Chain A
Amino acid sequence: MINIALPKGRLGEKVYKMLASVGYGCDEYSEDSRKLVFKDSKGEVSYFWVKPADVSVYVELGAADIGVVGKDILNEYDPDVYELLDLGLGKCKMCVAAKDDWQDDMSVPLRVATKFTHTAEKYFAQKGREIETIKLNGSIELGPVLGISDVIVDIVETGSTLKENNLRVFECISEISARLIANKSAYKFRNAEIKKVVEKLSEVTKR
């Protein structure tokens, strides 16, 4: 049996439907169910829902053989896993955004508000720009609006939240989408099963 960690929410549901379409469906699954674990009747696959940011933890620690996680999480936490497939779902961008009229003052460290502190630190270190990181857990856009930061580093999907708060994208750090990841030990001992999932999903993503 192969254990799959899915991110709770819309992305996870889309991924489940994708897996079900290639033969990994479960009778126990229902969109309204609050069940966290469900298995198929043939005993081929077992799913469980976890917080999106935790999928890589479950996979790295071997509770799940494979899982689906956003590239933003992989970039931020750099888990020791294999990244086998880009599912092409949940596409967005990791961006540096600031107030429309913002201009970088190179004489002082740049104040960066973000949930993705490692991503921000890595990006600005590569550019040689000194920063002060302000870790926020939500409503990141408020940083520049209330003056606690100069810029933010955050995921941008449509840009409408930025626009409503008079912010705009200044730089794009990376493209984000959902990735299929695998535990390294599981990839050794359940190689054929994992490769079969990858192969079947690749056919769907190519369409």
Chain B
Amino acid sequence: MKFRIREEQAVAGITALFESYGYKNFKSGCFEEYSLYRENEKFLVGKNVITFTDLTGRLMAIRPDVTLSLIRRTDIAVGATEKYFYNERVYRRAAGGRDFREILQTGAEVVGVIDSLCEAELAELICKSLQIISPSYAVDISHVGFTEGLLSEFGSDGEEVKNYLRRKDVHDFLKLAENKKFKIEAIDAFIAAVNSDGDAEKTLELARRNILNKSMENAVDELEKLVRRLTCAGFGDKISINFSMANDADYYSGLVFGGYIDGVPQCVLSGGRYDNLLHKFGKEGGAIGFAVYLGELERYFAASDCIVDRLIIYDDGSEDEALKCAEIAQRGGKSVRLCRSGQQSALRAVEITDLSSGG
């Protein structure tokens, strides 16, 4: 029987995961001054925010995101590193939606001194978080240093080329390349970047052969180190390098992550290195984090075929045995539903134990 995890199980599992890595729980208020979001619009997923005037006349907003609140409130001592996680409800438009929605979001943020081990640990948490939701998941990794380095080779056409890179659109890029007489090395590097998917190590070998400047070289060095660590940790078949994730360089400043679950059409996780936001708040150091958009997974969770771990079917002759059997399973951490023989048709479970005389 097909099994899908329920939303609350996913949240509990991811929370336990964060706690096992020593991340502290961050709780933010539901309201912030609107100016926080207005002044940092480019760091938000969407620009629409629900606003209201409070009793003192201040224009307030219902939080559309958690990262901004966390960065604003966090005080980091020089040379220190703080690690946080959160499970919060945010209020914004869901992907493709036209109305505001309450969306459950869970995520992790590391602020302060960020070394490559810290980045690898976060990437590992990304893989493990998605694994909790489904064993069929995939993580895309990119690096702003690589994509911006590549785009800088196209001068003032960089923005247009970025759109082609995001859409994996080689045909329109080649038309532009012909008109603008781009360098052949830059064209080759673009095509290699567009075709980046599949095996991460092979993709990076190809990327290394197409390095055109220092920014791309540094990014490939960093990506190689990360991929090596994730492969050693057993996530090699789940990760891909995808330079088409050419995210906003104003927000991200290094590694970029995107996560997918088979059966969910949109990206369900995004994250990366965002030192610029920290600096904008006048704080030193770096920041890296990710968020799982549980709102995008609502239909996936709703389609769950299972309501309990085990369904025990009993009849008059097996009532006591059924109770005993249920108790053992519950002690083992399983959810159990007892069901009289003949009534089980509407119920679904991962495992069925039939103790009835006809079973």
Give the B-binding residues of A (Cβ under 8 A).
Answer: 60-62, 80-86, 183-189, 191
Contacts and interface: CB of A to CB of B under 8 A. Distances in A.
Given A86-B172, A189-B260, A60 B167 contact: no
B190 to A, nearest CB: 15
**Majority SS at the chain B contact face:** loop
Interface stretch (B19-27, B264-272, B305-313): B264-272
B198 interface: yes
Chain B: interface size category: 20 to 34
B71 to A, nearest CB: 27
Contacts of B244: 82
B293 to A, nearest CB: 13
A92 B338 CA distance: 65
Contacts, number: 48
A189 B265 contact: no
A81 B167 CA distance: 6
B265 A60 contact: yes
Contacts of A191: 197-198
Instruction: Tell me whether chain A's interface is mostly helix, strand or loop, or mixed.
Output: mixed
A81 B265 CA distance: 10
B96 A189 contact: no
B182 to A, nearest CB: 18
A94 to B, nearest CB: 14
A82 B168 contact: yes
A197 B292 CA distance: 32
Nearest to A71: B172
Interface string B269-300: 00000000000000000000000000000000
Given A85-B171, A86-B172, A188 B265 contact: no
Given A188-B138, A191-B198, A60 B264 contact: no
Contact of B265 (A82, A83, A86, A185): A185
A81 B90 CA distance: 26
A84 B173 CA distance: 12
A203 to B, nearest CB: 15
B260 A188 contact: yes
A184 B267 contact: yes
A87 to B, nearest CB: 10
Interface of B: 95-96, 136, 138, 140, 167-169, 171-172, 197-198, 240, 244, 260-262, 264-267
Nearest to B240: A188
Contacts of A189: 136, 138, 260, 262
Contact of B140 (A62, A82, A85, A188): A188
A61 B96 contact: yes
Contact of A62 (B169, B197, B265): B265
A187 B267 CA distance: 12
Given A83-B168, A85-B171, A185-B267, A60 B96 contact: yes
Given A60-B96, A83-B167, A86-B172, 19 more contacts: A61-B96, A62-B266, A80-B95, A80-B266, A82-B169, A83-B169, A83-B172, A183-B265, A184-B265, A184-B266, A184-B267, A185-B261, A185-B264, A185-B265, A185-B267, A188-B197, A189-B138, A189-B260, A191-B197
12 contacts: A82-B244, A84-B168, A184-B260, A184-B267, A185-B262, A186-B265, A188-B140, A188-B240, A188-B260, A189-B136, A189-B262, A191-B197
Nearest to A74: B167
A185 B260 contact: yes
Contacts of B172: 83, 86
Given A60-B265, A61-B96, A191-B198, A86 B171 contact: yes
A96 to B, nearest CB: 20
Contacts of A183: 265
A162 to B, nearest CB: 25
A4 to B, nearest CB: 15
Contacts of A61: 96, 265
Nearest first, the 3 closest Cβ-Cβ pairs linking A and B are: A62-B265, A86-B171, A83-B167
Most A CB contacts (10 A, CB to CB) among B138, B167, B267 go to B167
Contacts of A80: 95, 266
A110 B105 CA distance: 45
